[in-house]
Every structure is written in C-alpha cells, then in structure tokens.
Amino acid sequence: MTRGLRGTSRANLNGPAKPRADEGKPVKTIKPKESPAGRWVSYRSEIKVLDCTIRDGGLMNDHRFDDEFVKAVYTACVEAGIDYMELGYKASRKIFAPTDFGPWKFCTEDDLRRIVGDNDTSLKLAVMADAERTDYHQDILPRDQSVIDMVRVATYINQIPAAIDMLKDAHDKGYETTVNLMAVSAVQERELDQGLELLATSEAEAIYIVDSFGALYSEQIHYLARKYLHYAKAAGKQVGIHAHNNLQLAYSNTIEAIILGANYLDATLAGLGRGAGNCQMELLLGFLHNPKFRLRPVLQCVQQYVEPMRAKLGWGFDIPYMMTGLLNRHPRSAIKFNAGKDRGNFVKFYDAIIDEA
C-alpha cells in the first residue's frame, strides 16, 4: 500500500528506525501551567459577583428607591445565584441629614429587615461605609445583631489610616470586609504603592481597583491589576474590580481584570449607577459561564423595574459623561449639566469643561 508524502514518516524515507534510548519507558505528560488567563474560557469557582444596583444607582436619586424596587432587585439577586448584594451606605446622620436622603443612604437595621427579613437565602448582604463619613463605632452593629454579612469600606488615598481602623472595627465585629480604593486614576504611582502596602496589612479580604471616573483603558487595568495582585497575594488577599462606563469600557475592563486574576466583581442591573453607570450584570453573568448563575431573573427585573426608570434617572453612556471620563474628572459637572436646561448641547458643555481645564 502506498501512502502520500504527508502520510510517510521519516523512518520510511531513511530506512528502518533505530530503537530509541527511552523506548519502553512511560511517556511523560506535560501538564500546561495553570493560570487565570488560561482558565477564563471556562469558569473559576472562586469568583464572587456583587450587585451594587441599589447603592451605586442611589447616587442618581439620593437613595430614594421605594421598597418594591429594592425588593425586586433583592429577589432577582437571590434567584440569579449572585453572591452579594450591596443595599446602600452606612452614612453618618450627623453629616448627612436624613430628611435630604432616602433610607438606603443609612441602611438602618429596621429598613434592611423590612426588605429581606432574616435573609434566609444564599445571598450575602453588604453595605458601604465611607472613610470619615460613617459613625461606624455606633452605627455598624455586631454581626450577630445584623442581617449584614459584609462591610465594604470606601477610601481615598489620603484616608487610608482611617479606613484601616474601620476595617478592623468591622472585622472584630464579625463581618467580612473589603476595601474600595477610589479614584485610582488620579493617584500618583508612589502614593499608590504606599497605599497598597498599608492596605495589605489591613483586615480587608479583598482590595478593589475602582475606576471612579470611568477613565481607565484596558492597558491601565492590566497594569493596575498586576500591581494590586502583587501586594494582595503576598498578604493572602483577593483583588476586586469596580468599573464605570464613561468610555464604554466598564464591561471590557472587568473582563481584563478577571483574566489577570481579579475574583471580586462589581456590577449593576442594566448598568444602573452614578453617571454613565457600571458594568452591566447581564453582560457579566453571560460571560462567566458558571452554571450557578441564572440570567433570566436579572432580565425580568431589568425589564419590569429598572429600564422604566432610565428616562427619569438618566444613567448610562452619554457625551458629557464621556468628556469627564476623557479628562479623568469626577462626573459631577456632567450630572449637573444633564439636569439643566442645556441638556443635549454637547458643544456648550465641551467648551465649558475645556475652559476649566
């Protein structure tokens, strides 16, 4: 029987093959080196997804979501298999007048239990506590007196010592703890290294990359994720990602962080969040492939409760938000502009913001 050249071995061309020295020995199987990048097409069981629709979205309506809406998001999170739901802030009532905000600015135990009861579900509940804006010694109860499972401390680089004390207080009370280092796109390299070194010694279980201004590109997320992981892994901590969508990169930047090894992921239903919004939960769950997550309950809630609020709240990608992202600025000026009579006059906003620069 003749065989074509592609089916002919070198042994057939050059005469009988000589016995190999290792013939008869077991063949070694080379196992590919495992890495986060090599596993992203499947799923990582250690990944935790946190919904922050009520907390971040509350920045668009002074935290005045009614109980029906909050309950709907809670139910969707439970049914979708999401790991954590953030219900709002633990803000100081000495600094923020309760008459100026809705209940999710303060998240009292009575308000929380009105929605979740004893939370006899697999969903864990979280609140955010801003450094220097929370009366945490009094307002954050011992864990065994609360339905809250996790306290997320938010801090700017100059507030880290206060944040570390807050993390210790929450940890000592029995809570899971994470820390959001905000506005990282505006932090100098040396300060960031010093800050991460300090946070690595804290009680935080995860340190979050927070693109507060929605200004970061994938290359910057890549660089920051490696830096955060360098400090976090040595201290036995995880890295998280909280992205904003000013440049339409919240989802892709979250994926970039996942591939590099971030395991704590923030997202919101339909991207509902301050200004341009956040990484969309429905996109993230579709990407993760983990069979424990179910997309339909999220879509049902988005359809019935979230999207009908878009016209009134006005979150999502928008030219003014894009401009603040490009300039690496807080979106407050864009939020104010969009609430005024000149909404839609993009050139006027562009000229004003460039003059300020």
Q: What is the pLDDT of residues 309-336, one digit of tens each?
A: 999 999 999 999 999 999 999 999 999 9
Residues 279-297 have a mean pLDDT of 96
Between CA 242 and CA 170 the distance in angstroms is: 21
Query: Does residue 28 register a pLDDT over 60?
Result: no
Record the pTM. Answer: 0.88
CA distance 73 to 267: 13
Which residues, including other chains, have CB under 8 Å from residue 72's CB and lie 6 or more apart?
301, 304, 305
- State the angle between helix axes of 319-326 and 346-356 in degrees (0 to 180), rounded to the nearest 10: 20
Percent of the chain residues past pLDDT 70, beyond the cut: 88
Using the predicted structure, report yes or no on whether residue 10 has a pLDDT greater than 90: no
The answer to whether residue 54 scores a pLDDT higher than 60 is: yes
> In this structure, which topology does domain 44-312 adopt according to CATH?
TIM Barrel (3.20.20)
**Amino acid 334: pLDDT:** 96
- Across 25-34, 108-117, 202-211, 252-261, least confident range: 25-34
With 60 as the cut, is the pLDDT of residue 281 above it?
Answer: yes
Tell me what the pLDDT averaged over the chain comes to: 91
Residue 192 and residue 166: Cα distance in Å, rounded?
A: 20
Pairing of the two strands 48-51 and 264-267: parallel
